[in-house]
Structure 1
Amino acid sequence: MKVSALAGPNDDGPCLVALEIARQHAILLLEAADEFVRQHSLGSDLLAVTATASRIAEDDFDLVWDASFGALHVALAAHDPDAIASAIVQIALRCGALGHILEIDRDVITLRNLRFQCWSFANVRRISIEPHLEQFRFLTDTGPVTIGRSESGALHSSHDLKQNPMLRLLGHDIVCLFQDNLLCPGGADIREKVVDGDVDSLPERLKLSLELLSVQSPRYYRWVTALLRAVAPWSNPMNSLPGGSGSSNLLPGTVAISASPSREPMIDSLIHEICHHYFYLALKLGKVARDPGRLFYNPILRCDRPIDMILLAFHAFANVYRYCGDAISRGVGDQSYLAYRMAMLQEQLPVLDGHLASCGTLTELGESLWLPLHRELAPILEDPAVLAARL
């Protein structure tokens, strides 16, 4: 497995290593869940889900790249039978959305918010899936809701439910999230800054930004769209550029970005946070550093950070720098923003790189994420003027 491919894109195709790591990790989680279900006699219906999902995971990345696996990870770590059963039921829903409908009829831990495709439900207490009818039933505090398939094959709801705006792209959906959609493992730090009023306008802004990215840098367009599955708009009270952004290891493909009206800052944030998702995938293979306790100065955040977080920052910002270079070389987009961003990163990246070069604690995995970028960007990292300023 060529882990260095996770350092950044070098062609216009998807990063197959990332897809394979996600599949393998999901299968390991399903195997652990299967064993737990057997040991605690939680039910043959759950075993049918883990077996079917393991089989589908071999070929369908859209199954495994889903928040339900983050929920399963947390539940398994807690050894919580109810939470594990609830997470497996959510995986069954994901299977059903992809056309693999399995029979389920279970009470679940009350889910404060559950999103199924474009619909959101509050306080779900029971979930039933009926394969012969191709129906999904949800019992909430306000009553039952049924989602089924029309003659055309499209899903439809029996009730007028809150819907999440979506953008269809390259065969999969990118969902725009409200605050309540982030009442889930990994969602707390993202949720607090979400502005629900910006959600409805987000799909069009995303569409325009991704269309521009496809022209500015085809390799980063594929890099982003391969993993991007959900976006939440963040507040930006200071109107800073590119604005704050966030993501979570427990929410695959989900990013929070400032809902900027400008395309380049939005692209900047998308690349940054999607790079974090590639980094999170790398962490599933092991540690990137041997001494996480020692702190180093991060000039971007203006605070001290452990070396693994220095590598996380360098990995993301070095890729943003490469994108800006691609866009400038093609002469497409807001050249003033791109030049401003590159100039800023030319001052900051050498500091981060210097820590990585001198720390002596990166593992082989950590070096696989750092060295390809370090070597490519050597002209700015080793520039005498920049080195003098760093010293």
Structure 2
Amino acid sequence: MKTLIKNIVWQGQPKEILIEDGRIQAIEAAGTTTEAVQVIDGQGHTAIPGLVDVHAHFREPGLTYKETISTGSEAAAQGGFTTVLTMPNVKPVIDNPAALKAQIELNQKEGHVKIDQIGALSLNLTDTQTTDIAEMVKAGAVAFSNDGHGVQNARTMLQAMKAVAKAKSTITAHIEDDDLVNHGVMNAGPSAEALGLPGMTGLSESTQLARDLVMVKATGCHYHVAHVSTKESVELVRLAKSQGLPVTAEVTPHHLFLDDSMIITDNPMMKMNPPLRSREDRLALIAGLLDGTIDMIATDHAPHAAEEKEGSMLDCAFGIVGLETAFALVYTHFVASGLVDLDTMLNWMNREPIEEFALQGAGQMRVGDPADIALVDLDHAYNIDPATFASKGKNTPFAGQKVYGQVMTTLVDGKVVYQKEEK
């Protein structure tokens, strides 16, 4: 079947895209193609490659009151994401080949976008015994993580690195030393002191990262730093890369655009892990992204039920949603402001994730690629409204913010999976 997307802008020029059998057959000047079974009018919007998120939580099985694969992947499509890597901290934990195979089948059955599955690094995420890395790679694990928990035992991490290196896979590491967290609910500093809330020192992140990077040098394991948040961590990643170590890193939009100086009340929507750090940390993250120390932007989409994000930061859940807001936030703050161009942004949110995680099924909007495409309105502002989210989670501190870059249409393998409703 042939589909023509007409009346779109691509790389600043009026173009049209011809799709056949789910793949891009041609990207040509407007008015070139005359033959198509289906025509999609892009209404002058900008075409971009479908975004790729290497860090999301869809909560199914076991926690479906927070999110399901269906609602999470609908949120992804609404945000322009066509490929998402989901974490293994569901119930039961995806820590064996049988559970992994069952999860992959469930992802394929319920998902509206492409979902690649990350497997657990150690049993039940917290055990000192590593999972069967080799067999889980064979079963389809795209990477390994204990996300939500730092690996406290150095020997466990060393064993995992050796196995992951041998399997030619990737560790995506949640770095957190429990002994240094000290029951913190936000970044340790003046804001925490002013609010009378327990603080979490950045050392809880950077000290474990330093430990792990020494072992990366010894094992050659591809090590990906999840949700980097401190200036010390940026410096450590920069040093590791200067030494030629196989290290990559991600940063979230909330750590790029929010910091603890903005927490002026005990606000549950501002509680996430790692916490919002200082303004100095935030600027270091931006600098690290701009100079290539940090490779990509990931959402750490973490939906919760409304009652879990109420009351005080002392006892509410960690985490915010991000799939439906990421593109617009990054575009508004970085591209519309003139800091970088759109192509640079797409490098962070499409090409780097695909290349670093060796994702074979994700498209980069080249002729012959899978037709994973989003059409976005870059010209008209809108306000972020959680009531419009497809995600079950409405927990975002960005509610009400004026942004540009609304996703209008998303296609996966040439099939429309999201179309913004006309008002």
TM-score for both structures, normalised by structure 1: 0.31
- Structure number, greater radius of gyration: 1
More strand as a share of residues: 2
**Higher relative helix content:** 1
